[in-house]
Amino acid sequence: MIPFLFAVHSHQPVGNFGWVFEKAFAESYEPFLELLAEYPEVRVGLHYSGCLLEWIEDHRPAHVDLLKSLTDRGQVEIIGGGYYEPIFSAIPERDARAQVQTYFDHLEAVFGRRPAGLWLTERVWDTSLPALFHDLGVKYTLVDDSHFRYAGLAPEDVWGPFIAEREGKGLVIFPIDQKLRYMIPFHEPEDSIAHIRERAEKHEGFVACYGDDGEKFGVWPDTHEWVFEKGWLERFFRALTDAKDEIRTALFSDYLEGAEPRGRVYLPPASYEEMMEWVLPPALGRRLEDLMEELKEEGRWDELAPFVRGGHWDMFLGKYEEANRMQKRMLLCSSRIADRKDAPPEARRALYRSQCNCAYWHGVFGGLYLNFLRHALYREMLEAEALAGLNQGLTIERKDYDVDGYEEILVSAAGINAIVSPRLGGSIVALEYPQKRFSIGNVLGRREETYHGKLAQAAAGQDADTPKTIHERVAAKEEGLEKFLVYDRFPRVSLQDHLTSPGITLEQIEKEQAPELSSLAGARYQAAVDHGRVTLSRESACGEATIKVEKTLRFKADRAGFTADYRIRADRSAGGPPANAAGQRPAPQFPDGKLSARFGVEFNLTLLAGDEPERHYLLNGARPENPTMIGRGAHEDVTSLELVNGPDGFAARIRASAPARLFRFPVEAVSQSESGFERTYQGSCLWLTWPLKLAAGESWSVALDFDFLER
């Protein structure tokens, strides 16, 4: 008898739209469970993330009743996990323990029995996990067979339960068969049965193990028709039932009662194979893809696969600065809640929701590129801090919160939160309105991705009789996406300074072709903090001139905003500009005795929806042409700019003491999701610019007021 351990993991992230929950439930979770109930000899381990189970309990309680009945008759085993699907290595240990403990308690209350196993989020393994899970009473978890190959085991020996150990504490781990994971449900059921038989013939005592996303059964593109309407799942359950004398599905905890572990194993930090490809920077990602394809064409992949691997999940925090800032903001929130011993349980629950993994990384799935998922995590952090009674009054603190080796300046108040980075142009890298639980600075930059080279293939389309896995599927949601492949030179932050040519155009700014006459944007500023003021300054060469920019940010405890006072001074450089290798010197920057340039202050802000009429601009109190957040334009004599967020009941207003020429455009990135390539609105870029004509020794100044207003 060949035991077949079958696990299905279902999840919807914190912040996903209600209609997505509805659709996924109707097209996958509900029909899967109803059909499973008709085949009582098919036993399955089911994991629902806490985010999803809470929704089901509130909106589809009959589904929970069916789950209870299937667990009572021994057909289904509920598998636990971290309550809100955190990556365990990315959150504090105190929160990891609480997430597991709280969810296991909840599952025991709902189903009448405590889970024995844990679904490991994205199968991200860390060497500290055996001790952590052992202490929490977890008996087993599942990881990919590739984890074992990276540990030095021969592929043919990777099957059955092993024991992972840390500090003398053991945890049973089951390797998921990657070939089964790719076959189910994209090959006929007989192919999976044949694969299990073939492996069992080679190994006495062999046990097959499968574990993967429930969304493969109806939510992924084209799978609902294939799995349910064309009967794949029913054929699969029938095939397992018919083969029960040879291959018998079993629950993990039941199997463990009589099983003997195959030995200890020490796994390196890893995730599933695809994840470790996605985390690589584009150049290395393409090289890895080419190498893997080359080895497969040569028939050498099975032999060399143990020696070929990508990166590690944590490097998403290195690849995407925005992901790192969000994760470090979550850690900051966690430490603040931990220090507040009287913080109510609701505050801690909001913190745990902010640790939901999906928005912290990006692969085939949208994840980080979905601004509403990032927004949801920031919303939960701000909710947690509000419930804990934090941010009462003005505090300004110097701290390297994002662990980049440089101090940032953290400003917290009831009306506004800001994080100022002297390293990145003296800019504001985080800007929050706590009262509305809104992070308006939550903008993701445009950057190269490994898959951007596949856009031409996507335009050609694909035809197939059976659905493709999301790892094989290549499609585009609209034509002409190639023209949106523009990559940002500087981070998408606010109060970023530019000294550029007098004739700068919107097209140059949008396409990252604006000439920078001086090194201000993204450069290091000097910083000083004193009594609610943050002063940032930088001197930089500009041809034969020297430019000194000084900006002073003034915050108050009773104001939901700040004032930025700018002062710019021009001087001649001592000795003039250096000559190049040919002995040529740059053109002088003082024609007619004056420095001639254009000074710009850049803001990157988001109201989340780009094309919703109730989220729009007001320029000098009036709506411009194309007023929504995806509107573009160049506007003269702007002294007041508002971003009006009708649905959330507030506006962000910028007022300038001198009329400015405003350039505005949407920041739109090309990303990949399970349904194909798509253009995603990340935020809106605003350049307020003024002409500069300064003689040596002259200065110019302007003041900008930024305020959140109730609307």
Residue-wise pLDDT for 370-392, tens only, equals: 999 999 999 999 999 999 999 88
Last residue of a domain, one of 267, 287, 313: 267
Contact 516, 499 (CB under 8 A): yes
In a domain, 431, yes or no: no
d(CA 127, CA 143): 13
d(CA 361, CA 366): 9
Residue-level pLDDT at 585: 44
In a domain, 72, yes or no: yes
Condensed to tens digits (0 to 9), the pLDDT of residues 7-34 reads: 999 999 999 999 999 999 999 999 999 9
Which CATH number covers residue 666? 2.70.98.10
CA 254 to chain centre: 37
Last residue of a domain, one of 199, 233, 267: 267
What phi, psi does 77 have (nearest 5°)? Answer: -115, 125
Q: At what angle do helices 321-339 and 93-111 cross, to 10 degrees?
A: 80
Q: How many structural domains compose the chain? A: 2
What are the residue numbers of the active site? 122, 213
In a domain, 394, yes or no: no
In a domain, 314, yes or no: no
Residues 6+ apart with CB under 8 A from 531: none
- Asked if residue 578 has pLDDT above 60, the reply is no
Q: How many Cβ atoms from other residues are within 10 Å of residue 533's Cβ?
A: 15
Helix (H) or strand (E) segment spanning residue 149: helix 145-150
- Asked if residue 579 has pLDDT above 80, the reply is no
In a domain, 282, yes or no: no
Condensed to tens digits (0 to 9), the pLDDT of residues 397-441 reads: 999 999 999 999 999 988 999 999 999 999 999 999 999 999 999
Last residue of a domain, one of 267, 302, 331: 267
- Asked if residue 473 has pLDDT above 60, the reply is no
In a domain, 343, yes or no: no
d(CA 506, CA 504): 7
Span 696-704, average pLDDT = 94
- Asked if residue 500 has pLDDT above 70, the reply is yes
CA distances, 640 to each of 262, 468, 690 (Å): 70, 51, 14
3-state SS string over 173-223?
EEEECHHHHHHCCCCCHHHHHHHHHHHHHHCCCCCEEEEEEHHHCCCCCCH
Residue-level pLDDT at 413: 86
Alpha helices in 482-593 (DSSP H): 506-510
d(CA 67, CA 70): 5
Span 179-188, average pLDDT = 95
Task: Report the length, in residues, of the chain.
Answer: 711
Which CATH number covers residue 161? 3.20.110.20
In a domain, 229, yes or no: yes
Domain limits at 662? 450-487+494-573+588-710
In a domain, 403, yes or no: no
Among 383, 389, 390, 312, CA closest to 352: 383
d(CA 160, CA 117): 15
Among 377, 124, 138, 120, CA closest to 271: 124
Alpha helices in 225-281 (DSSP H): 232-242, 252-258, 273-278
